[in-house]
Structure 1
Amino acid sequence: MAEAPKPPDPGADFAASGRRVIEIETRALQALGGRIDGAFSAACRLILACKGRVVCTGMGKSGHIARKIAATFASTGTPAFYVHPGEAGHGDLGMITDADAVLALSYSGESDEILMLLPVLRRQGNPLIAMTGRVQSTLAREADVHLDVSVPEEACPLHLAPTASTTTTLAAGDALAVALLEARGFTADDFARSHPAGALGRRLLLHIADVMHTGEATPRVAEDASLGDVLLEMSRKRLGMTAVVDGEGRLAGLFTDGDLRRMLADERIDVRATRIVDIMTRNPITIGSDALAVEAARLMETHKINGLLVVDGERRVVGALNIHDLLRARVV
């Protein structure tokens, strides 16, 4: 008669279990660090020499890790994708060209679905990098480069669920991706181009020219404008400010809602007789149209202002923006 399952232990020390898992996986990663050697460098050189893409494959938990490694490669300058080894044997093998390199993950090194692909990959001439936990396994022996991701023990107390081993495999994949990123000279701008819809992409790709108000939408008045003209321009353009420009369109000063409030609070100022050139802010903070939008956000935060005028190299006013434009663009 089968033994009844044990009921959950309400007094279990969950924190102690969690710490034990972290300690086991930390030791596994430290051991892996000592094995990042010539084989690792050979794998990097093989991938750099690849004219096609890196095809990552693995079964079960190794498959999940392979998917993540492929995604990390692809977003850091190494074109890659994942192929399920079981589906590869039923037609998806056609996705792999002779220009591609293959990164195969199998902790045992004996996954039937992956071993079945080896003769075809060999005939096609695909370079093969293997990550296994057994140096003498079939996959390790057949690979052009083998990366040892073995662990002394799994964090699972039953020594069944892949835990520490998937952590080391994932870390080895991250190490490859970063080493290749550095070798390629991959930059933050390159990363942003792969992530245009994300927050980082917006921060690194969006320029002032993409969000500023231009042409007739730019608030501006001449130096001889009356205060009434200034208030009308600010009301029409609704940016909470206006540029004051000379006859050549060059910036002479700035007048904002805040300036207006301070002026009205000063009883010494005659609103009707005051000229805009006497109350405007000279030499205001400005920005160029080719600057990143995130730089405008930084300037606004640093100087505690809500808007910026955009000028060209000769200080001509070419646009304007405020904090609401950055919010709409989701830069801040």
Structure 2
Amino acid sequence: MSGKNIFVRDLNAGQQIQELFLVAEAKLGQSRNGPYWSLTLSDRSGQVEAKIWSPLSQEFSEIPAGRFVRVRGAVTSFRDRPQVVVERLELLPEAENGVTLSDFLPASVRPPEEMLEEIEDLCTEHLEHKPWKNFARKVLRDEEIRSRLLAGTGAKTVHHAYMGGLLEHTLAVLRLCLAHCDLYPQLDRQILVVAAVFHDLGKAWELSGGLTNDYTDQGRLLGHIWIGLEKLEPFLAKAKDLDEQLILHLKHIILSHHGEYEFGSPRRPKTPEAFVLHYADNLDAKLNTIAAAFEDLDPAGSPWTGFQRYLDRYLYRPTPTPDDRNHGQKAPSAQFLLPIKG
């Protein structure tokens, strides 16, 4: 089987396509004209909504998520975003040996091993309190935790939702916290480093990763904040040289990093360090979401994105100030935000 020729990012209204996709989600609905399938099709460049209307929809009793499908159809526009109206759909065998998996698994630009090594180096550099340094080293060198971090994604759909995304997000939040400590030296740099490194540890169990990258039973029932603290607890219990007040503060920072109750935070930030981690986490997530939205824009087209549901607004890609160091050439507008996945 040949590789893909058209990716989700290439889809524009008016196209006729015949292409291979992965089914991320499939729901059967009912309209006045009969049953219909609402699909989310994906590849490494993103996701696109698709519809199978009656009578074609009645040919499928099941369309399993995680299956590869060959789609023939027309690309239309719905709410300023491409949508595929399926004219023919072929479910490929589950063990499809001819599929190039790298076409369907988006990944961070940097290898996960490289990012994890940088996180470890930053811990070595900045953790001067020996109990914190020993604690971080033991957690990061745990075989299961290490393998989970290397394979982890940062989210299901919103930000850093790709292989290596969890470590990319963790590293960015860690660097943001360090920058804040340089600006505000009264902050506890030691505990912020530890909290930044482990604030999203639970996501390595909350999400399955892989082709479907869905929530696990643990993820749906407990959520990554609780799971992360549960994974850290045995290491904290063995860290006899760590002051109980430091452990209490670390738990509070992690518990409150979503900021507000309505955003799933069990507690709201009550210390300066908890506020810093919350805003660093939120900033990195938002900028990654914006960078992904800008990726869909035609460089020669409109500077406005389609409506961004998770940000509840349209986004505008501004004209960048020329970089005088490069003889007046314009600096890239979207690339400054964060590394973009490839």
Give the TM-score band, short-chain normalised: under 0.3
User: What TM-score comes out, normalization by structure 2 length?
Assistant: 0.19
Bigger CA radius of gyration: 1
Q: Which has the higher helix share?
A: 1
